[in-house]
């Protein structure tokens, strides 16, 4: 019965009804009721297919239009209209939105509290050590870079103790020893330049004599450009002043040149000279730069003062120059800048 | 039955439409502002879908179609929405159409005016699945791909089913009142 198609006249009438919207006043509800009563199935026939198709096409059109900014005004308008309502609804419903929390048990809350406390302390610790960690990372990076620049394999180590100033020795202890492949007389560097040499080693630590110590003597070479008839590369001995802080020349080094007539210019770099492998110092490690030159009339010598590149007051991570095939209990930074 | 039908198509259409519009706006506002507080893993109940469904169950497919489209467009354009407009419109339009067909089927087959409770629940499940799936799949087609389709759809359908026994009778009653 439901499959019966409406008669053409019925269909026409229905179409007219829907097109006109409200019923024409000429027809009373009762008249319609009677007709419907005889043809009840048609009263609830499905929506017109054309509407379905038209509205689906509308959706497609909307989706297409939305690829362009055409719909923005509509979005804005709807937003303007609905936002106050949403705000109001959210405000009114605020007591209700807390309802799900009522079902939290005390154990839940206690767990959450413990979790948050743990997280809090972890984060606090992280914040406290962030700067230190960053500095440490920079140090390690500079050691890696130094190994690359210098072309030597390095064993990284941390400075664990500074010798007291009242002994007038400038020594430090590092936390790498013979187990890390370190032997006495090896050169110690940072990313900035030469630090000193290893005096003696234990299994897990080593004592380093800094080049600012008064007893330290390093072979140095002034590495500037050749000027006219004078060749650069004069050699001499770099001695530490051994002077503790507080005096004008504290922390400075002096270079006694072999050739007394040579006069290095201010700002020229002084590097070590040596045979490259053997102790005490490998060659080519930067020591410092020339600050001034003065001649001593009394002993007819010429002294060059050098400001070291390394800040000895804040030594932390250093590298010990080792032969490339050293066996170590820790990572060795190879000349290629990799860890081995 | 026939009396109601006559009233539905004849009396005070403006009032009826205003009521439906009001219900849709309220549903959308609640869905966007209040429902997120009750979200299950981020999935909120589709109140607008339930309203469209109720309208289609009382008024038939034609009304469901148009209501669904209107509600969908509103949902597409309402503030937090940033997806391509027309996706919810399409989904809710189909929901209205399907629910309308269910009503016609149930009326044609049984002499009762209203579809039974079981039918309504089945319709809710079916329509929620269809609606959310159409929305998700259209997003997939348009490249606004959601990552996990099935769990979201499943939770959504479950949530709608949970709310349906509470809301649908109320909505049907309201719509029935609007007819008087």
Q: Verify that A154 and A290 share a domain, yes or no.
A: yes
Q: Is the residue at A334 inside a domain?
A: no
Q: Verify that A81 and A204 share a domain, yes or no.
A: no
What local confidence, expressed as pLDDT, does residue B113 receive? 59
Residues 11 through 40 of chain B touching chain A, CB cutoff 8 Å: 13, 25, 28-30, 32-34, 37-38
Alpha-carbon distance B148 to nearest alpha carbon in chain A (angstroms): 23
Contact B179/A at CB under 8 A = no
What local confidence, expressed as pLDDT, does residue A253 receive? 85
Q: Lowest mean pLDDT of A86-100, A103-117, B79-93, name the range.
A: A86-100
Q: Verify that A192 and A261 share a domain, yes or no.
A: yes
Alpha-carbon distance A33 to nearest alpha carbon in chain B (angstroms): 7
Q: Is the pLDDT of residue A64 over 60?
A: yes
Alpha-carbon distance A54 to nearest alpha carbon in chain B (angstroms): 11
Q: Is the residue at A86 inside a domain?
A: yes
What local confidence, expressed as pLDDT, does residue A36 receive? 43
Q: Verify that A283 and A177 share a domain, yes or no.
A: yes
As a whole number, mean pLDDT of residues A285-301 equals 79
- Tell me A108's DSSP state: H
Q: Which domain holds residue B154?
A: 2-179
Q: Which of B5, B61, B78 sits opposite A47 (nearest CB)?
A: B61
What local confidence, expressed as pLDDT, does residue A39 receive? 42
What local confidence, expressed as pLDDT, does residue A31 receive? 40
Q: Residue B2 and residue A40: Cβ atoms within 8 Å?
A: yes
What local confidence, expressed as pLDDT, does residue B110 receive? 62
Q: Verify that A300 and A241 share a domain, yes or no.
A: yes
Q: Is the residue at A330 inside a domain?
A: no
Q: How many domains does chain B have?
A: 1
Distances (CA, A) of A296 to A218, A260, B16: 21, 11, 112
Q: Verify that A192 and A304 share a domain, yes or no.
A: yes
Q: Verify that A199 and A310 share a domain, yes or no.
A: yes
When comparing pLDDT for A44 and A215, which is higher? A215
Residues 98 through 157 of chain A touching chain B, CB cutoff 8 Å: 98-100
Residue B6: name the closest of A312, A107, A34 by CA.
A34
> Which pLDDT band holds residue A8 (cuts at 50, 70, 90)?
low
Q: Verify that A191 and A261 share a domain, yes or no.
A: yes
Residues 37 through 76 of chain A touching chain B, CB cutoff 8 Å: 37, 40-41, 43-48, 51-52, 55-56, 58-63, 65-67, 71, 74-75
Percent of chain A with pLDDT over 70: 76
Residues of chain B predicted below pLDDT 50: 1-11
Q: Verify that A149 and A233 share a domain, yes or no.
A: yes
Q: Lowest mean pLDDT of A21-30, A293-302, B114-123, B162-171, name the range.
A: A21-30
Buried b (16+ CB within 10 A) or exposed e, A43-62: bbbbbeeebbeebbebbeeb
Contacts with A52 from chain B: Cβ below 8 Å = 65, 93, 97
Q: Verify that A61 and A142 share a domain, yes or no.
A: no
> Which pLDDT band holds residue A118 (cuts at 50, 70, 90)?
very high
Contacts with A61 from chain B: Cβ below 8 Å = 86
Q: Is the residue at A111 inside a domain?
A: no
Q: Which domain holds residue A35?
A: 14-90
Alpha-carbon distance B105 to nearest alpha carbon in chain A (angstroms): 9
Q: Is the residue at A260 inside a domain?
A: yes
Residues 143 through 172 of chain B touching chain A, CB cutoff 8 Å: none
As a whole number, mean pLDDT of residues A208-219 equals 84
DSSP string, A13-39: HHHHHHHH-SPPTTS-HHHHHHHHHHT
What local confidence, expressed as pLDDT, does residue B105 receive? 79
Q: Is the residue at A284 inside a domain?
A: yes
By the 8 A CB rule, do A254 and A306 touch? yes
* The Cα angle at residue A179 between residues A175 and A184, in degrees rounded to 5: 75
Q: Is the pLDDT of residue A61 over 60?
A: yes
Q: Is the pLDDT of residue A184 over 80?
A: yes
- Cα–Cα distance between A110 and A115 in angstroms, integer? 8
What local confidence, expressed as pLDDT, does residue A280 receive? 75
What local confidence, expressed as pLDDT, does residue A46 receive? 59
Domain boundary among A34, A61, A90: A90
**What CATH number corresponds to the domain at position B45?**
1.10.1760.20
Domain boundary among A30, A59, A90: A90
> Which pLDDT band holds residue A228 (cuts at 50, 70, 90)?
low
Q: Verify that A223 and A84 share a domain, yes or no.
A: no
What local confidence, expressed as pLDDT, does residue A7 receive? 52
Q: Over chain A, what is the mean pLDDT? A: 76
Q: How many domains does chain A have?
A: 2
> Which pLDDT band holds residue A221 (cuts at 50, 70, 90)?
confident
**What CATH number corresponds to the domain at position A292?**
2.40.10.340
Q: Verify that A70 and A201 share a domain, yes or no.
A: no
- Residue B2 tokens, joined: 């026939």
């Amino acid at each position: 019965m439901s499959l019966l198609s409406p008669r053409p006249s019925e269909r026409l009438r229905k179409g007219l009804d829907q097109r006109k919207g409200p019923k024409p006043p000429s027809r009373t509800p009762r008249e319609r009721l009677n007709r419907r009563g005889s043809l009840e199935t048609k009263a609830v026939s499905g929506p017109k297919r054309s509407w379905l198709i038209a509205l689906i096409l509308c959706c497609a059109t909307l989706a297409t239009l939305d690829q362009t900014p055409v719909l923005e005004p509509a979005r804005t308008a709807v937003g303007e209209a609905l936002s106050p309502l949403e705000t109001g609804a959210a405000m009114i419903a605020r007591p209700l939105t807390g309802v799900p929390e009522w079902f939290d048990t005390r154990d839940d809350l206690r767990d959450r509290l413990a979790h948050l406390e743990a997280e809090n302390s972890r984060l606090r610790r992280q914040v406290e050590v962030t700067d230190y960690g960053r500095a440490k990372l920079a140090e390690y990076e500079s050691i890696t870079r130094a190994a690359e620049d210098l072309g030597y394999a390095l064993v990284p180590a941390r400075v664990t103790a500074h010798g007291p100033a009242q002994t007038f020795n400038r020594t430090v202890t590092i936390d790498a020893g013979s187990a890390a492949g370190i032997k006495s007389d090896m050169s110690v560097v940072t990313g900035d330049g030469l630090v000193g040499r290893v005096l003696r080693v234990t299994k897990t630590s080593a004592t380093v004599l800094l080049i600012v110590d008064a007893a330290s003597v390093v072979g140095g070479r002034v590495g500037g450009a050749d000027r006219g008839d004078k060749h650069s590369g004069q050699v001499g001995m770099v001695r530490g002043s051994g002077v503790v802080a507080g005096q004008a020349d504290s922390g400075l080094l002096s270079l006694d040149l072999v050739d007394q007539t040579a006069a290095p210019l201010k700002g020229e770099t002084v590097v070590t000279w040596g045979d490259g492998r053997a102790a005490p110092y490998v060659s080519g490690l930067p020591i410092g730069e020339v600050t001034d030159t003065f001649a001593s009339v009394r002993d007819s010598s010429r002294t060059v003062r050098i400001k070291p590149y390394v800040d000895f007051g804040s030594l932390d991570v250093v590298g010990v120059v080792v032969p490339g095939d050293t066996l170590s209990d820790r990572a060795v930074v190879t000349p290629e800048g990799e860890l081995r | 039955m026939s009396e109601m039908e006559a009233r539905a198509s004849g009396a005070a259409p403006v009032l009826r439409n205003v009521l439906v519009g009001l219900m849709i706006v309220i549903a959308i506002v609640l869905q966007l502002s209040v429902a997120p507080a009750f979200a299950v893993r981020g999935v909120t109940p589709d109140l607008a879908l339930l309203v469209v469904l109720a309208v289609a169950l009382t008024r038939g497919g034609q009304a469901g179609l148009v209501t669904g489209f209107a509600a969908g467009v509103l949902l597409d354009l309402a503030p937090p929405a940033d997806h391509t407009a027309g996706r919810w419109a399409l989904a809710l339009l189909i929901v209205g159409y399907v629910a309308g067909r269910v009503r016609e089927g149930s009326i044609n087959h049984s002499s009762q005016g209203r579809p039974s409770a079981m039918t309504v629940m089945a319709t809710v499940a079916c329509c929620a699945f269809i609606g959310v799936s159409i929305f998700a799949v259209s997003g997939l087609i348009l490249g606004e791909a959601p990552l996990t389709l099935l769990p979201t759809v499943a939770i959504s359908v479950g949530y709608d089913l949970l709310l349906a026994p509470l809301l649908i009778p109320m909505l049907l009653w309201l719509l029935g009142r609007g007819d008087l």
